[in-house]
Amino acid sequence: MKFLLINPPTPEVISNKEYYVPPNMLYLAAVLQKTGVEVNILDLNILRLHESQNIKEAYDKAVIERVSDFRPSMIGLGCLFSGQFPDALRFSEKIKDAFPAIPIVMGGIHATLYHKEILTNCRSIDWIVLGEGETAITQLAAMHRTGRYEFDRIDGFAYKVGRTIAVNPKRNFISDLDALPFPAYHLINLEDYYHDTSNWHNPRGLPINASLPLLSSRSCPMRCNFCSMFMVMGPKWRSRSPKNVVDEIQFLYDEYGHSHFSFMDDNLTLNKRNTLELCNEIIRRNLNIQFETPNGVATRTFDADVLDALVTAGLVRISFAIESGSDFIRNRIMGKHLPLEKIYEVVQLTKKYPELYVRAFFIMGLPEETRETLEDTYRLIEEIDVDKPIVSNLIPFPGTKLFEQALRDDLFVDNLDVDNLWKNPSFYFTENKRFFIKPYNLDLTDLHEYRSKFDELIERCISEKMRVRVG
Ligand code: B12
């Protein structure tokens, strides 16, 4: 049994091209290998392209070449971001045309969201795994081996039955995350992910080639109205033991000489005891590492103990998910349960650590936004004075409460073709120039005016010492 996992290129939104190794591919590969499957990973993000090459043709060629060389029994296509879907679909069509007998399964948030539309409209995609995929993919491989496909036994799975689509809703998520093998780093060449890090914030002066992703937990119990994360990782926050996480760090440190990491958790610090144990274990083992949190952390879970432990263990760059300066928007509308005083308190605590690079994430353009709420955000950014505030234009992600609201109240601008979002990636690209919805009490011109104001403010806030890294 041979399984090929393909990671389509990440959309160009990552302007600095600092690609991470793909955790989805490495986890899926690890569980497959554990059951004796031969696995190969093709990550198109690291394909070296010549300037003169047509990018799409080069991707397609690489895909077909790999399938021809490896001759897999089954192919898995990842789709972490909706923006990856057009490439993923094109790959599946090319593969199906050339190798019609190889089944193609797709997974990731976009496929999870739009499984019905994709299976109904795309002849080249046979199956879709809904949500967290380790259990389903090993079941599929096992069924392929025996030749007895009992699809109704796979939890979180969608497939074609004649002209209809059968869906087994996702009910079970892995409760013992320590039972998962570590991501299969041995199946990739880590050097392919190295980039120039000379402009990185590197207070410990460590040799850094790239930041390796870590997931100490999955999911988040919060239900912020703009976030679609729970559709993949389920309703319950599940955590690995601190020892298991530090074993993985130690492994990457000893085996690969890596000392820079990125925690990609949806809610890294939800459990204070866990966080402190994790930090103490890193300190106890004397690991000279640095780490950061590229996604926002839940500000309200922070206090002096948590921050001190994290910084002592090696935290060098943190991103607080604050989202709005308006109490009304942040708590009543988004549902963040984050008092204004807590924000001031936590940001104040960070000032004790000059080596810590502090980012704060905000969103502008919610339906209930007014000039006053935008002013509140503006004022808060000025007051907290972090190293880098980031204000994003709202994207109402399908599957979120916010998306439903925008649809119900007809807030989408430009007659957005909602029925075709499953195949239309343009919805996801804003570069902070587009607004997809019009707030109830603001015009688009107001939003653009504030966008410019925020851009100027951000430019002023970014401290000189931190004017280093793009992302
Ligand atoms: C890490 C992360 C990033 C990293 C990307 C790292 C990378 N790999 O390249 C960074 C920081 C760069 C990033 C950036 C952005 N991100 Co982001 N990110 C995440 C995050 C927090 C975790 C993803 C992850 O690694 N999870 C761990 C792995 C193990 O889980 P997984 O990928 O879901 O894979 C599992 C299943 O999906 C399934 N599966 C996945 N692939 C496959 C394939 C097969 C064949 C099968 C069977 C199963 C399967 O099995 C896997 C194992 O269980 C998610 C939130 C989330 N929890 O999903 C958001 C998330 C994916 N990001 C999101 C967004 C919007 C962005 C940004 C656009 C934000 C912005 N405005 O800048 C940017 C730009 C990205 C781009 N270029 O398009 C949205 C995507 C929504 C959408 N519909 O597209 C998410 C869901 C967050 C959210 N709150 O809604 N992100």
DSSP string computed for 70-104: H--SEEEEE-SSGGGHHHHHHHHHHHHHH-TTS-E
How much is the pLDDT for 417?
Answer: 83
How far apart (Å, rounded) are the C-alpha atoms in residues 137 and 26? 13
Q: How far is the CA of 370 from the centre of ligand 1 (A)?
A: 30
How much is the pLDDT for 53?
Answer: 75
Residue 102's nearest CA partner among 6, 32, 4 is 4
For the chain, what is the largest distance between any 2 Cα atoms, rounded to a whole number of angstroms?
Answer: 64
How much is the pLDDT for 81?
Answer: 84
C-beta 14 within 6 A of ligand 1: yes
280 SS3 class: helix
Residue 275's nearest CA partner among 251, 294, 252, 303 is 303
> Which residue's alpha carbon is at the smallest distance from atom 37 of ligand 1?
108
Q: How far is the CA of 366 from the centre of ligand 1 (A)?
A: 22
How far apart (Å, rounded) are the C-alpha atoms in residues 71 and 399? 36
C-beta 81 within 6 A of ligand 1: yes
How much is the pLDDT for 361?
Answer: 98
To test the pocket of ligand 1, the residue of 24, 236, 263 to mutate (highest count of ligand atoms within 8 Å of its CB) is 24
Give the strand order in the sheet containing 38-43.
38-43, 2-7, 74-78, 104-107, 127-129, 157-161, 164-168
How much is the pLDDT for 82?
Answer: 87
C-beta 293 within 6 A of ligand 1: no
In which region does residue 278 sit, left (phi positive, over 0), alpha (psi from -120 to 50) or beta (all else)?
alpha
In the numeric block, which tokens belong to residue 369? 């936004």
Does this model's pTM top 0.75? yes
Q: 260-263 and 290-292: which strand pairing?
A: parallel
In the chain, what percentage of residues exceed pLDDT 90?
A: 85
Complete domains list, the chain, with CATH: 2-168 (3.40.50.280), 196-466 (3.80.30.20)
Q: How far is the CA of 412 from the centre of ligand 1 (A)?
A: 24
Q: Using alpha carbons only, how large is the chain's radius of gyration in Å?
A: 22
392 SS3 class: strand
C-beta 11 within 6 A of ligand 1: yes
Residue 402 in contact with residue 441, Cβ under 8 Å?
A: no
Q: How far is the CA of 376 from the centre of ligand 1 (A)?
A: 30
Residues of the chain with pLDDT under 50: 465, 467, 470-471
Q: 127-129 and 164-168: which strand pairing?
A: unpaired
Q: How far is the CA of 304 from the centre of ligand 1 (A)?
A: 30
How far apart (Å, rounded) are the C-alpha atoms in residues 313 and 471? 23
The label of the residue with tokens 């599957």 reads 399
* Distances, alpha carbon 259 to alpha carbons 208, 250, 309, in Å: 7, 9, 18
Q: How far is the CA of 81 from the centre of ligand 1 (A)?
A: 6
How much is the pLDDT for 470?
Answer: 47
